[in-house]
Amino acid sequence: MSNRTAKSLRVQSLNKSYGIKGGPRIPAVIDFSLDVAPGEFVTLLGPSGCGKTTALRVLAGLEDIDSGEVLLDGRSIARLPPHRRRIGMVFQNYALFPHMSVFENVAYSLRLRRAAEVDVKRDVGDALDVVGLADFSNRLPGQLSGGQQQRVAVARALVMKPDLLLFDEPLSNLDAKLRVQVRSELRRLQRALGTTSLFVTHDQEEAMSLSDRIAVMRAGRVEQIGAPSEIYARPATLFVAGFIGKVNALPGTVVSTNGGRATAECFGHRFDISGAAVTRGDALLLVRPETVLLQPPERTGIAGIVSEIEYLGDRTEYRVRVGETTVAAVRPSLGQEASFTEGARVSLAFAGDSIHLLPAGSV
């Protein structure tokens, strides 16, 4: 399927609220701004009720906005009806017509526009070929797997040759193994097409694997936008750190700073930390569990006692009591020289380059 030049998306200070009869309006999206480069895949990530789906529906034209601007390749679309926005949307439930064949499901929007039959056959054939379903055109949705149904929904969006593709949690109805398979197919397809895409999910692993960049949302606002590796290693807030994965938030004190480096004290040990944008005083040291080294008690490090062990198949999570604080450490379940039991004394260590500092009281 031929694809026109990819388009950019710019969202500026978008606000959306809902009225409750007899009561005040409830804000759903607050001062939402986002720039998406041509061909980029950006994910809106956050918990239920954070406003990510509302933002997506506003972009699609399915919801009116209170204020703000939406520009698609510099053209304002904020007040255009959905059919004039050149946007394709893949919904959570796929919304396929069960009595129609795969071909007719994909052709539906073209037929609504009274496209010539020769164009319908060509464009639907191209769309099904792109998603690898050319041989399934005569099947009904009920005769397809979940992954195949998802690809039909993508083909239906692609057949309109959209400037922007929107995905509203399209993998949430699939089982865990199929989700991994389909998200890989989806990312391959998006890269091949080069269509600018915005994806909504509450699944952090899904967001990390699919996205060029992630916008983490909370209570209607964007908390942080960045590449997956940046958000994971350098979260802007404690909320982002906890939502994008497990993290130890350890109380400490910054005793000195020098340019982009800081020396922080925690559990009586000092750590030299790079990339620190905090001042002297109380701080939180963010340490991912997989960077915590769990050692026999005679090794140099922070003394602790294993309080709980959780076996997770490919990895084992240890919770270690250090004074009044619990520190999580993750180790591969296989191939380890030593394992530890509950109640065992251990020594913990972590390097300064694995620590990220936030001001004390960060939320």
pLDDT tens, position by position, for the chain (363 residues)?
545 688 999 999 999 999 877 778 899 999 999 999 999 999 999 999 999 999 999 999 999 999 999 999 999 999 999 988 989 888 888 789 999 999 999 999 899 888 999 999 999 998 898 888 999 999 999 999 888 888 898 889 888 889 999 999 888 877 777 788 778 878 888 888 889 999 999 999 999 999 999 999 999 999 999 999 999 999 999 999 999 989 999 999 999 888 778 899 999 999 988 866 778 889 999 999 999 999 999 999 999 999 999 998 888 999 999 999 999 999 888 876 667 899 999 999 988 789 999 988 888
Burial zone of 336 (CB within 10 Å; 0-12 exposed, 13-18 middle, 19+ buried): exposed
Q: How far apart are CA 186 and CA 137, in angstroms?
A: 19
Domain end marker among 213, 240, 267: 240
Radius of gyration of the chain (CA): 25
Question: pTM score > 0.85 for this model?
Answer: yes
72 in Cβ contact with 85 (< 8 Å): yes
Q: Verify that 198 and 328 share a domain, yes or no.
A: no
87 DSSP 8-state letter:
E
Same domain? 101 vs 208: yes
pLDDT number for residue 2 = 47
Query: Is 347 inside any structural domain?
Result: yes
Same domain, 54 and 200: yes
CB neighbourhood size of 278 (10 A): 18
Query: Which pLDDT score, from 0 to 100, does residue 4 have?
Result: 61
Bridge-based pairing of strands 41-45 and 25-36 is unpaired
SS3 category, 270: strand
Which backbone phi and psi does 187 adopt, to 5 degrees?
A: -65, -40
Compute the distance between CA of residue 300 and CA of residue 288 in angstroms, rounded to an integer.
20
Q: Which residues contact 235 (CB under 8 A, 6 or more apart)?
A: 224, 241, 244, 247, 286, 356, 358
- Note whether residue 1 is domain-resident: no
> Tokens 């990510």 — which residue?
52
Task: Tell me: do 309 and 354 sit in the same domain.
Answer: yes
Q: Give the residue among 157, 140, 158 at the shortest CA–CA distance from 149.
A: 140
Same domain, 106 and 231: yes
Tell whether 220 and 334 lie within a shared domain. no
Q: 52 phi and psi, to 5 degrees?
A: -65, -45
Which of 211, 240, 269 terminates a domain? The answer is: 240
Residue 307: φ, ψ to 5°: -105, -25
Residue 49, Ramachandran bin (φ over 0: left; ψ between -120 and 50: alpha; else beta):
left
**Pair 207, 134 in one domain:** yes
- β-partners of residue 283 are 252, 359
Please check whether residue 118 lies inside any domain of the structure.
yes
- Residues 180 and 160 placed together within one structural domain of the fold: yes
Q: What is the pLDDT of residue 338?
A: 65
Distance, in Å, from the CA atom of 305 to the CA atom of 301, rounded to the nearest integer, reads: 13
How far apart are alpha carbons 12 and 93 in whole angstroms?
29
- 202 DSSP assignment: S
CB 51 within 8 A of CB 65: no
Q: What is the pLDDT of residue 244?
A: 92
Sheet holding 9-19, edge to edge: 25-36, 9-19, 67-72, 75-76
Query: Residue 146: phi, psi to the nearest 5?
Result: -60, -40
Query: 3-state class of 24 per DSSP?
Result: coil
Q: State the pLDDT at residue 229.
A: 95
- The one-letter code for the residue type at 363 is V
- Same domain assignment for residues 173 and 69: yes
118 lies in the same domain as 220: yes
Distance CA 340, CA 217 (A): 38
Q: Are both 298 and 162 inside the same structural domain?
A: no
Place of tokens 């009869």: 21
Q: Which domain holds residue 138?
A: 9-240
What Å distances lie between residue 297 and 124, 269, 306, CA to CA?
65, 16, 11
CB atoms within 10 A of CB 326: 14
CB half-sphere exposure, 70, CA atoms < 13 A = 25
How many domains is the chain built from?
2
Of the residues 212, 240, 268, which one is the last residue of a structural domain? Answer: 240
